Every structure is written in C-alpha cells, then in structure tokens.
Structure 1
C-alpha cells in the first residue's frame, strides 16, 4: 500500500482533474508525486492579467501534517520580484506555508491542500498588490503611497508580458527577442540534442494563441502615459537584489508578440506539412487514422449536424463542418473548423481554429476557441467540446475564457443586439445582403431559404435589391 502522504496527494490530484480551475494547471510525474509543477494564469482584470507564472511544490513524507515547500520559478533568472510576497529568490511569503507569521487562524492545518495553497497564491495577484506589503494595508490615503502603488502596477503589467509571456514563448520556440533562431545544441555526432521537457509548454502555447489579441490590446492600453526608455519606479519596500527594475518598451513587446505568433503559426503549418508528406501511417498517426474512422462512423449514425473529412487524406489535419440546428440562433449557419494534430498527439494537444467567422465571447476574432477540456486521449472529446461551445445556452463567463471583448460586452449588456449581430454574421456568410428601401432599413436574408428576395417585402412598389 502507498505511503499516507502519497495516498493523500493522489486524492487531491484526482479532485483537481475532476474539478478544474481555468486559471490553475498542474503537471506531475505519476512515478513521483512529491514534486508538482503548477502554472497560474494571472487574473484578467489585474496587472498580472493573463500572465503565466510557474511554481514548484515539494511534498515531504510529513504531508499533510506540515505544508509543502513552494517556490516561484518565474523570476527572470532570479532578477525580478513580481509581488511583495513573491521574491526574486523564489520565496513565496505566505502564512499558510509557514513563511510568514500571519494572523491567528491563518497558519497551516491538515485541512489545507494543493488547491488551497494555489488559490491563496493566486489571490496575491490582485488589483493592488502594493497593499500586500506589511504595514502598507491602509496607505492609500497617502498621496505618495498612491503614486507608488500606481507605478508598481504599471511596471508589473509590463514585466508580466515581457517575462511571463514573451520570454517564455521565445524559450519554447528557440528564438531570441528579435526572432532570430538560437544555436541548437548538438552531440558529438553533430545530431541535435533533444531539448529537455519544459513543464506546461504545450498548454502555454495554447494559452498564447487564445490570448494573443488580448495581449496586444493590453499593450495599447498600458503604453499610454509611459515613455519608451522610462525607468521603473522603485518602491519603498524593494531592495537591491529583490526588486523589479527596468525600463518601459512596449513597442518592442508588441513586435515580439507578433513574431511569436508568426512562429507558432508556422509550427502549426509544419504539422500539416508533415501529414501531407507521410508515406505510411505509423504509431500515433495510425491511432489518429483509426479514431477518425470511428468518429465518422459514429457521426453518420447519430449526428446530422456534423461532417468530418481529412485534408488531403492526412490523419493529422481534420476539417469539421458544423451545421446550425433548426430553430436556434445558429439555424442556417455553417462553420468550418480546422483541427490540426501533431504527430505527438496526445502529448501535444491539437490546435483548433474556426475558419468560418464565429461571433462569440469564447472565440477570438481570428477563430481560436476556448474549450472546456483538459488533455484528452481521444479526438471525440475535442469534438464534443467544440459542439458544446456552439450549442450551449450561455457562454462560459469566467473572465479567463472571454476572448472577444466586443462579443462579451454585447452578450451580457445587450442580448438582443448580440443575437442580431450573430444572425447578421451568419446571413452575410451564407446569403445575400438585401436593402429594403420602402422601410429604410437593411435586412439580411440567408440563401438557404431559396426564396426570391422580393417576396419578403409586402409593399409591391418597393425596390428590393440583393447585393453580394
């Protein structure tokens, strides 16, 4: 039988998988549960918004009697302190971990666990982290403290994008800040050495593709009021070796984001090219071919709203066509969705993109969806997630899943206008634009109705002109 601390860790990890938090991801080795790598996504409305922060948790045999040891590893090589409680050395200063004295009742107990620790750390990334510094809790009545708090948020916003997003993705892609490929390490036979596994690499690439436009929007907003080359303000509680020092350069960050997106798109296309060049189906690719045949057979029996085909016969590139169900907002619409696999599936998740525009809070303007799914071994799980996204009555409202600000704002503030905009996108895509002059309005009539546009107008004298 497993040791008590391993049994407890197994239960907790199973609970996390069953009840996932969209802002918390954990990765671990089944053969050694005593070390867990956690990824926290910064709360969307804060200076840490949509940043990606790594933590390493180490558990002793005395767990859960005693807390785990936790360090933050997103520190810019030990040079950047991201929070009064998150030191450049990696120390996480938190009463629940015993690294800060705290108030009575805030200390560790065996009722705590992985989730409560990570949620406590996540809560540090709030609207005003300056107030996390002991003694500064009630300092906002002081104009100088308020000025420092504002400056602190501004530099956190900059470094969140620079370090937790740009630096991270450039490392995964093997490029420098200018987009130049870094030298590849080779062995004695001049064969490239396989790069060591990076925890959360795949999920971070997926996250970048989802949040790419939001990162650009954040840069546009944050760059107002600061000048290129302007020094960060060093706050009262920061000290040499444990601070956030640097200069603002949002122009460079924007360029780096664009370069990263270009490389990721090229990487996705390289998967497609690999599939087209396959001379034989083997290993994971053979598994995908078998899953494709199973999915198609099932769809033909059970579903009349989805068709599936392979691009140029490649098991690595699937094209899903979804037809909107009658009597719903999607009635008459047709969406083409590309599911691009890597030959390393399921270790690498597929990259999914709506090739037909879809106006939805959980889908980016360029078609990258947020899907309610964690790593799955069968493609059917992804198809179910895509279908659920299309057909669920209400979009997911978690801030970390809102990828289209215009659609999100319209859906929750003006549902009628949102539905009208959705129908307009569908009808423009699938039909004609019809201008009815007698009513002085524009109406969109879908082509699938196959009715003469004139029949829509009750006024026989009206000139109704279909336009492409």
Structure 2
C-alpha cells in the first residue's frame, strides 16, 4: 500500500474520531492501520435503537481505487442475520461496497471514504428494514404487511440481546449463571505496574468496551422502556417468525423472552456500578504505590482548582485524599433555571484514564434531560477526553445549556426529554419540575 493511501486512511479515521457524530466510532491497532474496527450505534426510533453493531473493515492495497472489505461482527457467532442486507456470515450487501448491484451512480468512487461506508451501513438500519429486501415495493397484501411487523419485532428483541447485552456481559466477565469471572476482577485490579494497564498479550483488541459501558448507562432507561412496551405485545417463548427471504444458516431464529432480558440488563447495571466503586479502591492502591496516573490526576486537580478561583459557581475537591474520586459542588448561576440550586456531583475516574473515561453522577436529585432519573448519570461531551479540565467544562455546559438541539442520542431521561422538546405547555411542565428539584436541592444539601 502506498504512503499516500496510508495518509488518506489516517485522515479518514481521524475525521470520524474527532467528529460530532455520536453513532460512529472507529479504532485500529498501531501495528496495522489497514485493519479497522468500527462501531455503528443503531438509530433512534428503529428496532436497532441504541444497539452496538461492530464491523471489521480491511482496506485493499489499491485503496481508494477499490472499496474497503466490510464484515459484520455482531452476528451471534454467525447465527443471526440482522437485516436483509447484513447476513449471518457477516456479508454486507451494498452497491457502494461492490457487494450488491446498484443503480448508476451508486457504485464506489475514490471520492467516497470510510465515513460514507459507515453511513451507508447505518442507513440499512431503518424503521422498516423489510424494505431493504428486493421486491419489497411489490409487496401489498396483508401477509407481507404482517411480516414487516413481525420482522421489526424480532429485530428489536435481538438488538437488545445480541447487540447490547451480550457484548457488555463479555466485557464485564458476566457468566450465564450470573456470576462474574475472576479474570475480569483481576484485570480490573491491576494498578501496581503501569506496564500491565494495557497488556496486549493477555487481552484481545477490544476498543469499544468503555464506550459501550458509558452509553449503556446513558440509554439504560430507554432500553427498559423498550422492554416494558414490547413484553406486553408478545408472550414468553413465542417463536420468531421466519421471513420469505430468510433461509437455513442465514436467518434470525429464536424466541421472545423480555423478562430475561430485563433481568440481565439490571445485572449489567449493577456490575458496572460495582466496577465504578472498584475504581476508587484501585485508585488508592495506585496512589500508595506511586503509580504515575495518580500523581498526574492530583496535579490536574490542583491546576483546575487554581483556575477556578474566580469562578464562584464551582467548588472542586478530592474525596478522602483519593485522586480518582472528585467531588464537585455546583451553585446554580443567577438568572438561569438552576439559580439558587446547590448540587453535589461525583466524578469517578479509572486508573486507566483516559483509555477509560470518567463516570459522572449528579448525586443531588435533578430533573434534567441530561441526567438519568434513578442513578443521576450525566450525559456530557468534552472537547478533549485526555485532560480533566475539559471534562469539568463539559459538565457545566451540559447542566447550563438552555437551548440544545434535539438529539435523542444525548438524552438520558426520556420523560424529561419528551417534555423539554415537546409543546410549549410541555416545556412549562419541564421547567416547573426542574425548578422544584432546584428548590429541593438546598434542603437536600443542608438536611
């Protein structure tokens, strides 16, 4: 592969990594930039909603004259076909990839690139994926319409099971019997030797583990809403219906069991919470053993505190001398909806920061579309992920922003989001609920 091709691939990867599209992520091992792993987050309001779909992408030697080779990896071990155009074998049928016949102008050209490939894949994940099957436009009878509904129904179930639950259970070491493997615990506890914080000989390249965990916490309430609604529509053990275009070894077979999915979702959340608590224990050990990341975070904290001396809306402290647990007290700005409020915010940091990103919890109850209802998980977006000052800035921005653009991928409190972006009367209800939580925050702090 030419140097020019490698430079182009590098530029395309960087463009996605530094972009604002929350539904795309890419990564590669330093040893070979031609082999890329990509994650496509299922679009809202589709049966693929907030699923984590992984793809392996290999660039040919003559790239960009020829398109990259793409293989779907989220297939339940080659047993699940997620779309008429995404086979159980991993084949992705798209004219842009040269794997499907297309109309004139739909074929690959050197002007296209990695991002256009991922967007094309994402476009397959529609609200009615049945329409991707050739001949769909001729399907007018009632049976085909019923098939469309049944197809959407089983994709919704398998998205939760295969594209959300399974990869998270794998990364957390959760076994089918509900136990957590010692291997996962041992890996989480390695802080004494910085060389072991990333050990490629022991762990396979899995660049999206942390992203999945953070997004799971964001979307947990949405997942549970989906389950609650869907389990009223199907019975446990009802079998999936086969579609006319499905065949042996290239289908989506199985049965519904939403109560089981709900149970597994809840345990994943509990396991992530336990992992977060373990970070604090690891952090103290790292401080005592004088691991570099502990001293680095201590210095970052001191610098941020110095920079905040003239900012009277924020007080930042380290909890119990542990540089991996930061306590932020936020005083609501005058002339805003948060005016008069006092909010305690906990920032939990991993000994593997920035490879693992902070988890931020608003501990004082706050009715806010960026704050999850039960756990107080905050959804925020730092301009840079490798320095904590950008995280602190982004936390404030998330709380204070009064007119953000609508994006369901950034809302973690579905009920609040519905009111916030609803009618004028809905917005009034949202503001009243927000103000009540602001008024209650003072009582909460001084109780």
TM-score (normalised: structure 1): 0.87
Question: SS of 1:56's equivalent?
Answer: strand
Question: In 2, Cα distance between the equivalents of 1:359 and 1:178?
Answer: 37
Residue 317 of structure 1 deviates from its aligned partner by: 0.4
- Corresponding residue number in structure 2 for 1:96: 96
- Determine which of 297, 309, 326 is the counterpart of 2:306: 297
Which residues of 2 match residues 161-176 of structure 1 at below 5 A? 161-176=160-175
Describe the superposition over 1:274-306 as per-residue Cα deviations: whole angstroms up to 9, x where unpaired. Answer: 234542432111111111111111111x42211
- Equivalent residues, number: 429
- Corresponding residue number in structure 2 for 1:397: 406
Question: SS of 2:33's equivalent?
Answer: strand
1:428 correspondence with 2:436: no
Q: Is the 8 A contact 1:172 1:201 kept in 2?
A: yes
Describe the superposition over 1:173-209 as per-residue Cα deviations: whole angstroms up to 9, x where unpaired. Answer: 11223312347499xxxxx983323120111111111
- Corresponding residue number in structure 2 for 1:151: 150
1:258 correspondence with 2:266: yes
Which residues of 2 match residues 152-231 of structure 1 at below 5 A? 152-182=151-181, 184=183, 194-231=202-239
- Corresponding residue number in structure 1 for 2:35: 35
Q: Is the 8 A contact 2:29 2:205 kept in 1?
A: no
Larger mean CA deviation between 152-161 and 207-216 belongs to 207-216
1:325 correspondence with 2:309: no
Q: Is the 8 A contact 1:56 1:73 kept in 2?
A: yes
- Corresponding residue number in structure 2 for 1:373: 382
Residue 397 of structure 1 deviates from its aligned partner by: 1.6
Question: SS of 1:159's equivalent?
Answer: helix
- Corresponding residue number in structure 2 for 1:56: 56
Q: Is the 8 A contact 2:332 2:339 kept in 1?
A: yes
Structure 2: segments with no counterpart, 5+ residues: 187-198
Closer, same or farther in 2 for the Cα pair 1:294/1:379, shift >3 Å? same
Question: In 1, Cα distance between the equivalents of 2:168 and 2:384?
Answer: 20
Question: In 1, Cα distance between the equivalents of 2:432 and 2:181?
Answer: 49
Question: In 2, Cα distance between the equivalents of 1:216 and 1:328?
Answer: 32
| More RCO (CA 8 Å, sep 6+) | 2
Question: SS of 1:317's equivalent?
Answer: strand
Question: SS of 2:350's equivalent?
Answer: coil
1:419 correspondence with 2:431: yes
Larger mean CA deviation between 172-181 and 154-163 belongs to 172-181
RMSD: 2.2
Closer, same or farther in 2 for the Cα pair 1:239/1:2, shift >3 Å? closer
Question: In 2, Cα distance between the equivalents of 1:263 and 1:143?
Answer: 45
Describe the superposition over 1:90-111 as per-residue Cα deviations: whole angstroms up to 9, x where unpaired. Answer: 0000000000011111000111
- Corresponding residue number in structure 2 for 1:462: none
Closer, same or farther in 2 for the Cα pair 1:374/1:211, shift >3 Å? farther
Residue 19 of structure 1 deviates from its aligned partner by: 2.3
Q: Is the 8 A contact 1:82 1:156 kept in 2?
A: yes
Closer, same or farther in 2 for the Cα pair 1:184/1:405, shift >3 Å? closer
- Determine which of 352, 356, 359 is the counterpart of 2:364: 356
Question: In 1, Cα distance between the equivalents of 2:311 and 2:255?
Answer: 56
Describe the superposition over 1:329-386 as per-residue Cα deviations: whole angstroms up to 9, x where unpaired. Answer: 1110111111101111111111111111222222211211221237611111111110
Question: In 1, Cα distance between the equivalents of 2:216 and 2:57?
Answer: 24
Q: Is the 8 A contact 2:221 2:414 kept in 1?
A: no
Q: Is the 8 A contact 1:28 1:35 kept in 2?
A: yes
Question: In 2, Cα distance between the equivalents of 1:39 and 1:24?
Answer: 6
Question: In 2, Cα distance between the equivalents of 1:142 and 1:20?
Answer: 42
Structure 1: segments with no counterpart, 5+ residues: 187-191, 433-446, 449-467
